[in-house]
A = this chain, B = another copy of it.
Amino acid sequence: MTIEKKGAGEILLAHGGGGLLSRRLIEEVFLNAFSNKYLAPLNDQAVLSVNRSRLAFTTDSYVVNPIFFPGGDIGRLSVCGTINDLAVGGARPLYLSASFIIEEGLAFDELGRVVKSMADTAREAGVEIVTGDTKVVERGKGDRLFITTAGIGVVDDSVDLSPSLIRPGDVIIVSGTIGDHGIAILTHREGIRMEAPVESDCAPLHSLAADMLKASGGGIRAMRDPTRGGLSSTLNEFAGSCMCAMVMDEDKIPVLETVRGACEILGFDPLYLANEGKLVAVVSPDAAPPVLEAMRRNPLGRDAAIIGAVEAKPGGKVLLETSIGNRRIIDMLSGEQLPRIC
């Protein structure tokens, strides 16, 4: 409540945080104005029918600060992010656009490094950057470099993913350790020294998602990459769509020791930290073993784990079962935890 009172008629940093205020902004401003069947499900990608093909289409802007960080940079992030939004929609990513808003004075060398990183990441993922744009704004009217990517992919006819398909008894799987990206950016930005610095997990997940779909026999209900707002916000979105309860087992959620340590010292909860190379899937009980096995065979899923299950009640809620057996409700991120994390 405090946050909203502070600037009732103005956009706050928290409106970009991926949590509750982001959700309200989207619902109240964008969904109202742009209402259509593609946007309404609030997935991270729209699945369109064009000339009898199913196309996935997505976009994201990247404003991460700083633009270079351990494990990646804004360029790699902008390519991985859009690939991942396509991949978790069940699409095979094909083509990307890239649009640059540059603050006057950015060094050519730095732009060149970012662009090279984008090209390398696109090659690694087998996608092509086919169209783009560049704008330059005056000093003090931007912050070095913002990149917006959009992407197109093809969705096979057999793929049918939607959080509304989730039902009680389903299994919740995460593809690896959570919170790496958030802690990598935060510690690097704030100049916090760590014995073993945490690297961003920034990676393209298209091959992992494809392996999972192939192994699942149609048993994957929904996938999403838990970026801003973290695992807790993604599971809250799922819970809101299917009106079931998403119950996590605290002991089973993979978190790097260094990330856990940094969280304890800095007062963060890994459940709310951004990830850029992880996905969460909800799968049928039958599909869980083969999907998990397929994930663990992929280098990007080697730490995959079943972290919980779906229950009927309390509908629309996310619960965390703690080590000592208590259950507590995990809300969406409210307010802003870490601005400009992606």
Chain A residues 32-76 with CB under 8 Å of chain B are 33-34, 36, 38-39, 44-46, 48, 50-53, 55, 57-63
Using C-beta atoms within 8 Å of the partner chain, give the interface range for chain A: 35 or more
A25 and B59 contacting across the interface, CB-CB below 8 Å:
no
CB-defined contacts of A135 to chain B, threshold 8 Å = 16, 61-63, 146, 340
B58 and A131 contacting across the interface, CB-CB below 8 Å:
yes
A108 and B26 contacting across the interface, CB-CB below 8 Å:
no
CB-defined contacts of A7 to chain B, threshold 8 Å = 105
B99 and A61 contacting across the interface, CB-CB below 8 Å:
yes
Contacts known (A105-B10, A105-B11); A50 close to B60, Cβ less than 8 A: no
A108 and B340 contacting across the interface, CB-CB below 8 Å:
no
Interface residues of A (CB under 8 A from B): 7, 9-17, 22, 25-26, 29-30, 33-34, 36, 38-39, 44-46, 48, 50-53, 55, 57-63, 94-95, 97-109, 111-112, 115-116, 118-119, 122, 128-138, 140-143, 146, 148, 150, 152, 154, 339-340
CB of A334, distance to nearest CB on chain B (Å): 15
The CA-CA distance from A46 to B129 in the complex, in Å, is: 10
Choose one: B16, B48, B109; the contact of A136 (CB below 8 Å).
B16
CB of A74, distance to nearest CB on chain B (Å): 12
Interface centre among A95, A130, A138, A143 (most CB of B within 10 A): A130
A141 and B143 contacting across the interface, CB-CB below 8 Å:
yes
A-B contact pairs, 10 of them (CB 8 A): A9-B109, A10-B105, A10-B107, A11-B102, A22-B134, A34-B128, A46-B130, A46-B131, A136-B339, A142-B146
B130 and A39 contacting across the interface, CB-CB below 8 Å:
yes
CB of A300, distance to nearest CB on chain B (Å): 23
